[in-house]
Amino acid sequence: MKADRHIMGLFKSEDQVVAAISGLKNSPYTFRRVNSPFPSPKIMAALKLKKSPVGWFTLAGGMIGFLAGFSLAIYSTIQWHLVVGGKPVVGLIPFVIVGFEAAIAFSVFGNVIGLLIMARLPSDRWLKYYDPRCSGEYFGVLASCEMDQIDGLQDFFRQQGGEVKVFN
Amino acid sequence: MAQLTYAQIDQSILDSLSPPKKGYWSVVAGLLLGVLVGAACWVYQIFVGIGTGGQNNPVAWGTYRINFVFWVGIAYSGTLVSATLHLLRAGWRNPIARAAETMTVFAVCIAGLFALVQLGRVWQVYYLIPIPTQRMLWPNFISPSMFDVIAVSTYLAVSSLFWYTGLLPDLAAVRDRTTGRRHEIFRLLSMGWTGAHEQWRHYTRGYLFFAALATPLVISAHSVVSWDFSLGVVPGWHTTILAPYFVAGAIHSGLAMVVTLMIPLRRIFNYQKIITLEVLENIAKTIVLTGLIVGFAYGSEYFIAWYSHDIVEMETFRWFAMGQYRWEFYIMALGNSLFPMLFVFRKIRRSITLLFIICLLVNLGMWFERFVIIVGGVAHGFSPYAWGLYAPTLIEYGIMLGSFCLFFFLFLLFVKHLPSVSMTEMKETLIQGAVNHES
């Protein structure tokens, strides 16, 4: 049977959340996610999360930016055909500054785009199984179960010391 | 901070967003009036011409450039405080980071406005933008002015995104505690943030990269501003020390501005338990360090002028200290190097009144530092025939008044409509504090 009921356990401490996560692993219930008011290193460690790939977007942005900045400076200079003071038209050293600034700008754009794509934002779908207390003083552990396991999952969260919220 | 709970942090910060009283609106109205005075002066200058300002030969850059550098300096330190201290895991940064980042965004906008004011014919700003046109004229990227355009616009984009990214979890927290139209606005602004572990996984990584990128950007961007001067063959300007000197000065002035903003903020919103005396004390200690660096830079300039045996350099620096602008020089030297040293005394840096007064003096000193560099260098250059003095006109004072009013006007609007302290980071500080306490 398909898991079709979502239940959230609301806890006041990180340690309770860590215990609930490890308890869920050895249970018939399906762990969905944790909502927390701040990034908790304890919870992150308990979830054994992989490193985020956002950095690849940042790196790609930086490389594109450096090339774009450098190319723009070179292109705009070679449009000016009059050599002044015998200096080279394409002055590589000053263009490093333009390339550097553009590299930083595009790295940050890449970083933001990567963050939005990976975190799937903006989207209201995150709000579907969510309790507003999770942005305040509670940590929410969301799990799903089959219809006949609802009571069991609620009891599990209560045993871990949490409050329970059942979603329709 | 250890005695606070998550709920108390939320409550005290969300209380600051409660509907403001009449006193708040009257201050906002007063500041708006100042902004309008500044705007009127600028409009007058656009119609009459740039000559309404006091800039003339030999001082072609007056208060517009001074204010540009001043506001850029204030702006750069905000992100540096937030980003660098984030990388260094300095927990005392958390209560002040949001205000510092906000200060950055507003200050860099105002700096950008001065760049436009200084143009005179402001509608010709498109000459600075690299766009293909029928004129076949492209900006010259060998010019330090173009470095400025690239650096400042990059900085504006990066600092705004850094600020907004940091704000995202708090916007969600406000969304969850409001109703009606405010809830709808914050729902849109928070973009569906729920603090899910997958969101935090990417967010923390992204934020770390933000901080890692913002730090070299700040250093490079303020170095670029210093090259506006040091690449010019003008006595007092043409020196390699100007870049680190400007960066240190920017951090110095920004830290002082953070204290100037934080002290009234903690008083008005009862943030004493959040922005503790220890946090202000740590800023004061950092001001001692930056004050020493700035003082060392001042000393180095005199040493190099003497050591070079260049008579023009020697005369320029003699004139700075003993010429017509000597009072500006003394305000600069005392305000930036001597008064901040008083913070080595614990009693002084723990006195809110003295902290506030000394930080105001640092702000004043930093403004006059820019005056001495920008005006002093060209006023007393190579050729005695071309020496001349400069004094701002009423129009310049009006625009300057407008800029300060605009900064405080925007900041006042911000503190009443968005969380002025990061709730998320304060909760992290609480956890770090508890862990440290246990260990």
Nearest CA in chain B to A141: B196
Residues with Cβ within 8 Å of A116's Cβ and at least 6 positions away in sequence, in order, are A122
Domain boundaries defined on chain B = 31-121+138-429
| Inter-chain touch B158–A105, beta carbons under 8 Å | yes
pLDDT at B431: 65
Identity of the residue numbered B297: A
- What's the rounded mean pLDDT across residues B26-39? 97
Mean pLDDT of all residues belonging to chain A: 91
- One-character DSSP codes across chain A: ----EEEEEEESSHHHHHHHHHHHHTSSSEEEEEE-SS--HHHHHHHTPPPPTHHHHHHHHHHHHHHHHHHHHHHHHHT-----TT--SS-HHHHHHHHHHHHHHHHHHHHHHHHHHHTT-S-SGGGTT--GGGGTT-EEEEEEE-GGGHHHHHHHHHHTT-EEEE--
pLDDT at A3: 56
- What's the rounded mean pLDDT across residues B144-158? 93
Residues with Cβ within 8 Å of B77's Cβ and at least 6 positions away in sequence, in order, are B100, B104, B218, B250, B251, B252, B253, B254, B255, B257, B258
Identity of the residue numbered B170: D
**B128 vs A111, residue with greater confidence:** A111
The Cα-based distances of B31 to B112, B225, B319 in angstroms read 20, 29, 38
pLDDT at B264: 92
* CA dist., res. B418 & res. B14, Å (int): 9
Q: Inform me whether the pLDDT recorded for B433 exceeds 80.
A: no
Dihedral angle at the C-alpha atoms of B253, B258, B264, B268, nearest 10 degrees? 170
Residues 97 through 156 of chain A touching chain B, CB cutoff 8 Å: 97-98, 100-102, 104-105, 107-109, 111-112, 114-115, 118-127, 130, 132-137
Mean pLDDT of all residues belonging to chain B: 92
CA angle A87/A93/A96 to nearest 5° reads 140
For residue B275, the 8-state DSSP code is: S
- What's the rounded mean pLDDT across residues B1-16? 83
**Does A162 contact B at CB distance below 8 Å?**
no
Nearest CA in chain B to A39: B200
- The predicted-structure confidence for B375-407, as pLDDT tens digits, reads as follows 998 999 899 999 999 999 999 999 999 999 999
Query: For residue B136, what pLDDT band results from cuts at 50, 70 and 90?
Result: confident
| Inter-chain touch A123–B210, beta carbons under 8 Å | no
Q: Which of chain B's residues have a Cβ under 8 Å away from the Cβ of A134?
A: 194-195
CA angle B208/B213/B215 to nearest 5° reads 100
Task: Tell me which residue in A79, A104, A123 faces B192 most closely, judged by beta carbons.
Answer: A123
Q: Inform me whether the pLDDT recorded for A11 exceeds 50.
A: yes
pLDDT at A90: 82
Query: What six digits make up the tokens of A14?
Result: 């990180």
- The predicted-structure confidence for A117-158, as pLDDT tens digits, reads as follows 999 999 988 899 999 999 999 999 999 999 889 999 999 999
- The predicted-structure confidence for B225-281, as pLDDT tens digits, reads as follows 999 999 999 999 999 999 999 999 999 999 999 999 999 999 988 888 899 999 999
What is the three-class DSSP state of B59?
Answer: strand
- The predicted-structure confidence for B176-196, as pLDDT tens digits, reads as follows 999 999 999 999 999 999 999
| Inter-chain touch B161–A112, beta carbons under 8 Å | yes
Q: Among B43-47, B79-83, B301-305, name the one with the lowest average pLDDT.
A: B79-83
Residues with Cβ within 8 Å of A40's Cβ and at least 6 positions away in sequence, in order, are A14, A17, A139, B431
How many angstroms separate the CA of residue A54 from the nearest CA in chain B? 6
Task: Tell me which residue in A14, A51, A108 faces B210 most closely, judged by beta carbons.
Answer: A108
For residue B374, the 8-state DSSP code is: I
Q: Inform me whether the pLDDT recorded for B432 exceeds 70.
A: no
* Cβ–Cβ under 8 Å, residues B78 and B166: no
Q: Which of chain A's residues have a Cβ under 8 Å away from the Cβ of B142?
A: 77, 87, 91, 94
**Does A2 contact B at CB distance below 8 Å?**
no
* CA dist., res. B312 & res. B306, Å (int): 10
pLDDT at B437: 45
The Cα-based distances of B398 to B38, B50, B195, B375 in angstroms read 5, 14, 46, 19
How many angstroms separate the CA of residue B362 from the nearest CA in chain A? 30
Identity of the residue numbered B74: I
* CA dist., res. B364 & res. A163, Å (int): 55
- The predicted-structure confidence for B78-93, as pLDDT tens digits, reads as follows 888 888 888 988 888 8
Domains of chain A: 5-50+126-166 (3.30.70), 54-118 (no CATH)
Task: Tell me which residue in B197, B217, B428 faces A33 most closely, judged by beta carbons.
Answer: B197
Q: Among A2-16, A99-113, B332-346, name the one with the lowest average pLDDT.
A: A2-16
- What's the rounded mean pLDDT across residues B337-363? 96
- What's the rounded mean pLDDT across residues B52-75? 93
Q: Which of chain A's residues have a Cβ under 8 Å away from the Cβ of B205?
A: 51-52, 54-55
| Inter-chain touch B154–A135, beta carbons under 8 Å | no
What CATH number belongs to B31-121+138-429?
1.20.1630.10
* CA dist., res. B73 & res. B218, Å (int): 10
Rg (CA), chain A: 26
